[in-house]
Amino acid sequence: MEKLKNILVWSLIIAYIAISMSFIKEKRNKILCLDIKVEILDSLKNGFITIQDIEDFLHETDMNVIGTPVMSINTKDLERKLKQYASVKNSEVYVTLEGDIRVEIDQRNPIVRVINKKGQSYYIDQEGAIMPLSSKYSSHVLIANGNIIEHFELNRTREIYCDNPDSYRDKNWQKNHLVCDLYKLSKFIYKDNFWRSQIEQVYVNDEYEFELIPRVGAHIIYFGGIENYDIKFRNLKAFYHQGLNNVGWNIYDKINIKFDNQVICTKR
């Protein structure tokens, strides 16, 4: 008897939940989208995309959601289409109980602006994604120029794919894949507060080696290739602190750190 009573109680509870959900679904189907609210999460840091850009996008003829039943809005599809913006790293779209569409945008964060050998210019972000320049915003980041030849088609590529050089025997590897090393170097500089404030430009010379132009000091840093880059920066920082702080920052014309555990200086 007790078992039958429990079964009856649970059956009533399940039936109540099912009926309630049905009413809620019917009510939700009648709720129309009345407003779009957009938030750019990192708007104080970057300005590649604005709230107006997103609102205009969502008001386009084939994307217009105002007046549409909220249950019929495919938020995942909206997220996917918003990510087509080269400057959008991530997007989240959801519908509130009041019928509003909420859009949260996270922009890509560039770490270097590249000006290649053809004079084309673009950004590379922290994840290795290529970003076109913006007419409305310019990011104050490291500049890289000189003899830069990409190993990809610039207008068709959204991300840098850097394969393992050990798996290649192409004699032109260094030239064609130098942008991968440039990305690695730029990322290291960006993540280090000292070097981010000190290095303002990377120049690629005819030997496809890096030359660094500092903000402070009248010298050029002959860096060489990417190999042992962390050790080179460690030695250079030690020389800055123990050498230039004592003799002056404008006494040298060239500082060469290409070779292992050596800092070779040429006076002006």
> pLDDT at position 257, please?
93
- Indicate the pTM of the whole model: 0.80
> pLDDT at position 73, please?
82
Distance (Å, rounded) from C-alpha 232 to C-alpha 77? Answer: 47
Per CATH, the number for 35-107 is 3.10.20
Alpha carbon distances (Å) from 47 to 26, 52, 135:
41, 12, 11
> pLDDT at position 155, please?
80
Distance (Å, rounded) from C-alpha 35 to C-alpha 19? Answer: 30
Distance (Å, rounded) from C-alpha 124 to C-alpha 119? Answer: 16
CB 217 within 8 A of CB 200: no
Residue labelled with tokens 């050596």: 262
Residues of the chain with pLDDT under 50: 22-24, 165-169
CATH of 110-267, one of 3.30.1040, 1.10.150, 3.40.50, 1.10.1200: 3.40.50
- Residue span(s) of the chain under CATH 3.40.50 come to 110-267
Residues 6+ apart with CB under 8 A from 174: 208, 225
Alpha carbon distances (Å) from 187 to 2, 109, 124, 260:
69, 11, 10, 22
Q: What is the pLDDT of residues 210-237, one digit of tens each?
A: 999 999 888 899 999 999 999 999 999 9
> pLDDT at position 23, please?
46
- Residue span(s) of the chain under CATH 3.10.20 come to 35-107
Quote the distance between the C-alpha of residue 90 and its chain's center. Answer: 10
Q: What is the pLDDT of residues 41-71, one digit of tens each?
A: 887 788 898 998 888 887 775 667 777 887 8
